Structure 1
Amino acid sequence: MQVIGEVAGRWIRRNEALERLGIKTQTLYAYVSRGRVVARPDPADSRRSLYDAEAIERLQRGEIPPAGAVTAPERSAPRGEADIASSLSVVADNRLFYRGLDAAQLAQQATLEEVACRLWGGRDAGLFTGLKPRVDGVIGMSIRARLFASLARRAEEDVTSLDCDGELLRGQAASILNEVIDAAAGPGPRLHFHQRLARGWKTLDRDSHLIRRALVLAADEGQDPAVLAVRSAAGAGAPIAGAALAGITTVVGSALMRDFIEVSAWAVEARRDPAGATQRRFQETGNLPGFSESSEGDARAMALLAAADLPADLAAVISEGEAATGGRATFTMALAIVARRLELPREAAADMFLLGRLTGLLGHAVDQVMNGSPIRARLRYVGPEPGAN
């Protein structure tokens, strides 16, 4: 076992944990997602995880703690880091779990409404029953602009989140998401969210499941700057629409959105001549947009592509890219390829991601108000001395 700095002997790799317990990988993931084993990124390889050796030893002895009983050791946040506790999602060995359930497995059947209720701490999709379109719905502009406008309007209309209980917050989140989907897709029959979007994009009903899968898989990303933005705003009392707006604008301003532009353009270019375009691009730049350096791959991307029933040209974009790079298609690439498979507008891959991600950001806002601890962060002034010229 490799020694890892200050926690030498405490953390072990996945293969050793599996060998000690005599279990399959999925069982270990379940222990992590249920809070029975703590996992952390491997400092030597952030794509892999290390597992708490003490928890593994307790399981070896047959001591099964109740779900959520095992927690990571408390530590002070290092300078420049915020310490955030979240019960929404966790990434373990390249798989994303929503409150203990594998997102890729959920995407096989679950709707975005069902996943929203899970992430928001609700019991069922009844939150969305009876929600109607607004008479003064946001129209015109791009889907992204309508998303922003819908959130901004609700941020002005709704009260501070500090005055709300959990039931009211979840009701607000459902109403907000309903309004945003209507703004993106246009008003119409009260179908499931993915069906409304499919109708707005004029997608065949038999293909709408791909939009549903994409939305579910995009719902949360674990901890990132957007989560910090949402939780900071919600913890300070912002209406949850305002907190979600802070998060979604953080996503839009991130490098990920630049990736969506580049990857979506590449999916269109490479489709015309997958082998030739890939060879030329890789020889010229040494890399391809939309493919990771890891051979393990993102489980979300693999799940979405496996369900897409790709035509030969799009399948070749993936196979040629993976052969050239030795890596796997990223989730961004999977969304771009599905957008091409459905003949959606070029920006639709990013739009699907943002609409799905909004669901998780609303969940983080609700969770921060109801269960979140104060976010520990320090601002250290390094400017001129007060009064200096």
Structure 2
Amino acid sequence: RLSTIHRGKLYYRDVDALTLASTAMLEEVARHLWAVDWQPAFSAAAGPHADAFSFLAARISTGASTIGRSGDHLAREAAQIIGGLASICGAADVPGPLHHRLARGWDGDDGTADRLRRALVAMADHDLNASTFAARVAASTGASLPACLLAALCTLSGPRHGGAGAALAALVEEARRSGAEHAVRHWRERDAMLPGFGHPLYPQGDPRAALMLAGLTPPEDLAELAADVREQTGALPNCDYALAAITRVLRLPPDAPFKIFLLGRAVGWCAHVIEQSRDGTLIRPRGRFDGALPD
């Protein structure tokens, strides 16, 4: 009951997600998706951890099972964990909503903060994507909240998911060296996916990308790449392209696309863990065996 894509639009529960992104903060979206009557604050410190993976791994040893815990109790732990992730990702240790703290930590202004706000909200949830499914599978076993989030984070890191930003950077670099037309053709000849372009759920274009790119002029090399991809394949920029574009235009850290994706989507992961814990069933699909069986 958390999110769906219907007729090319993304909904968080019964609300158009991109309409929500025009004004809402990520904290408000968390309240909406977690179905709590208080607004979370993502302000907890992370401690001495180098990255999100080690931070979540360290919490697993002391994390409590999700079995038998109320949604409100899980939501309060979720807010603390996301606060720690925000700290690791560079959010400034100052009062205020996450998008302002991120902008401050990344040397941005109010305009940067508003761009980050929209991006975080747009990335908060997206139906049963791969990382969300991983989180729900872990939650169905009764694993702790940090364990569920680590399962999701490991899945997010793949180049066909949240790691697409790094793959797009490689494509852009090849386009700089050999020209956009040649780079796109070369990737297609290798039967390689074109990171940053196309989405099977949005044949008419990713509305999240349109939201993030509104009023923004992408750098020349990214614009040229988008034009060549569209000419050769018809594919339009997706959210990974948009995150790369705002990172370049706003002069954010090079790994900002992954961090924005992580912080926004962590809200959705937590919502799915809460929902799955209420369901109480084990997700255990059967495989279709593709081999010879004895007579």
Interval containing the TM-score (normalised by the shorter chain): 0.7 to 0.9
For the residue of structure 2 that corresponds to 1:137, the secondary structure is: coil
Q: Is the 8 A contact 2:226 2:237 kept in 1?
A: yes
- Distance in 2 separating the partners of 1:97 and 1:381: 36
- On the 8 A contact 1:219/1:356 being kept in 2, the answer is yes
- Give the structure-1-normalised TM-score: 0.65
Aligned to 2:87: 182
Secondary structure of the residue that 1:97 maps to in structure 2? strand
Name the structure 1 match of 2:68: 163
1:20-77 residue CA offsets vs partner (Å, 9 max, x unmatched): xxxxxxxxxxxxxxxxxxxxxxxxxxxxxxxxxxxxxxxxxxxxxxxxxxxxxxxxxx
- Structure number with the bigger relative contact order (C-alpha 8 A, sep ≥ 6) is 2
Return the alpha-carbon distance in structure 1 between the equivalents of residues 215 and 232 of structure 2: 23
Who is 1:277 aligned against? 179
Q: Percent identity among equivalent residues?
A: 33
* Distance change >3 Å, CA 363–CA 312, structure 1 → 2: same
Contact 2:247 2:253 in 1 (8 A): yes
In 2, Cα distance between equivalents of 1:384 and 1:295: 39
Q: How many residues align?
A: 287
1:145-182 per-residue CA deviation (whole Å, 9 max, x = no partner) reads: x2112222332223211131121111111111111111
In the alignment, the residues of structure 1 paired with residue 94 and residue 10 of structure 2 have an alpha-carbon distance, to the nearest angstrom, of 32
Aligned to 2:53: 148
CA, structure 1 residues 384+260, in 2 after alignment: closer, same or farther (shift >3 Å)?
same
Q: Quick one: which of 34, 38, 41 aligns to 1:120?
A: 34
Please list every run of 5 or more consecutive structure 1 residues that lacks an aligned counterpart in the other structure. Answer: 1-86
Distance 1:318 1:383, change over 3 A: closer
Tell me the equivalent position of 1:137: 47
Q: CA separation in 2, counterparts of 1:269 and 1:331? A: 21
Shift of 1:124: 4.6
Retained in 2: the 8 A contact 1:217–1:300? yes
Counterpart selection for 2:254 from 319, 330, 346: 346
Normalised TM-score (structure 2): 0.84
Contact 2:44–2:84 (Cα < 8 Å) also in 1: yes
Task: Tell me, in whole angstroms, the C-alpha distance in 1 between the residues paired with 2:104 and 2:173.
Answer: 23
Cα RMSD of the aligned pairs, angstroms, is 3.0
Pick from 290, 303, 316 the counterpart of residue 196 of structure 2. 290
2:105 is aligned with 1:191: no
Q: Which moved more, 1:373-382 or 1:328-337?
A: 373-382
Q: Which residue of 2 aligns with 1:201?
A: 106
Please name the residue that 1:302 is paired with. Answer: 210
Gap change, CA 1:193 and 1:186, over 3 Å in 2: closer
* Greater mean alpha carbon deviation, residues 326-335 or residues 306-315: 306-315
CA distance in 2 between counterparts of 1:267 and 1:194 reads 27
Match of 1:362 in 2: 270
- Give the secondary structure class of the aligned counterpart of 1:90: strand
Alignment gaps of 5+ in structure 2: none
How far the C-alpha of 1:282 sits from its partner, in A, is 3.5
Q: Counterparts in 2 of 1:13-24, with a 5 A limit?
A: none
Distance 2:235 2:60 in 1: 42
Contact 2:171–2:183 (8 Å) recurs in 1:
no
Deviation at 1:195, TM superposition (A): 1.7
What SS does structure 1 have at the residue aligned with 2:47? Answer: coil
**Structure 1's 188 and 258: CA in aligned 2 closer, same or farther, altered over 3 A?**
closer
